[in-house]
Amino acid sequence: MSLILGLESSCDETAAALVDSERRILAHRVAGQEAEHQPYGGVVPEIAARAHVDRLAPIVEGVLADAGVTLAAVDAIAATAGPGLIGGVMVGLVTGKALAHAAGKPLIAVNHLEGHALSPRLADPSLAFPYLLLLVSGGHCQLLLVKGVGDYRRLATTIDDAAGEAFDKTAKLLGLGYPGGPAVERIARDGDPQAVALPRPLVGSAEPHFSFAGLKSAVARAAASGEHRVADLAASFQQAVVDCLVDRSRIALAACPDATAFVVAGGVAANGAIRAALTDLAARFDKAFVAPPLWLCTDNGAMIAWAGAERFAAGLTDPLDIAARPRWPLDAGAEAVRGAGVKA
């Protein structure tokens, strides 16, 4: 049995966790930065990086104390090495390197997306490869066939905005504050999802990818018109996102008949309406639907520790001179897509 310390600092959560190879979470702590970023309506990278500097060391100390272990008992240090806001990524990775060097432990540089991709296996021991994953977060929206640890085939990605990005921008347009995803979901419960006619970009097309920029622009125009209740706009926007995710996932499910399950992960996977619609879609294809607990969907140290445990079991460790990466695709050989393409 191995014990892995995981560190996460790629965006605006500072997190650490201790997870063993038997899927036991011995301790985990997360410090958010909502108060720091709320005045700006979104994450300010420099503020985020400075907050990580202040908070990460005390959080690591706290996690070790909570678990009642010392660094000597840890078998390896796993730290997010990208993708993400490069200042924050560097804070976590340099901390991981220092701990690994000081304690004489192996370093495991974890792709943040792999942390999300493997997190359902932390929550569900029965989940076997290969499975179809919808990875949907503030910075990414992808469909991936997860064939094994470090082995991914990208089936679709966004050609512009990610779904979580669209939620955040819509919340700002509607004056709902930050973070946007939970705010939109809350007010959408009091709205009519059919009240405002909004586009569903690429829905019904043969192209497998996602697009949310046009939807965001349509929300901006509808909000500026003054003709609609905020709750109706939020509900109609959320329903449009649901329809886009379901339609694109339908194409991927049809292309992956051998997938053991349909899995969703990432921060947007915490949205109840999205979970319900994807559950129904999986049932239509006679696939098990797997989603991590809500706390494991958003950024956290446990998913990084678990990804580290999976990589450590496979004999995958990294040198101390490995570089932080602002962009790091899971499928480096995937074909470039039209549009932005940088979030592939």
111 is in an annotated binding site: no
For residue 136, what are its two tokens?
A: 């949907």
Contact 157, 344 (CB under 8 A): yes
168 is in an annotated binding site: yes
Which distant-in-sequence residues (6+ apart) come within 8 Å of 224 by Cβ?
A: none
114 is in an annotated binding site: no
137 is in an annotated binding site: yes
Q: What sign results for the dihedral spanned by CA atoms 181, 182, 185, 187?
A: negative
Give whole-number Cα distances, 335 to 128, 161, 259, 294, 325, in Å: 26, 18, 22, 32, 20
Q: Going edge to edge, which strands form the sheet with 107-111?
A: 25-31, 14-20, 3-8, 76-82, 107-111
116 is in an annotated binding site: yes
161 is in an annotated binding site: no
139 is in an annotated binding site: yes
299 is in an annotated binding site: yes
- Going by their DSSP bridges, the two strands 261-265 and 131-136 should be labelled as parallel
61 is in an annotated binding site: no
136 is in an annotated binding site: yes
Contact 106, 100 (CB under 8 A): yes
> Residues annotated in the binding site for substrate, as ranges?
135-139, 168, 181, 185, 271
> Residues annotated in the binding site, as ranges?
112, 116, 135-139, 168, 181, 185, 271, 299
> Residues annotated in the binding site for Fe cation, as ranges?
112, 116, 299
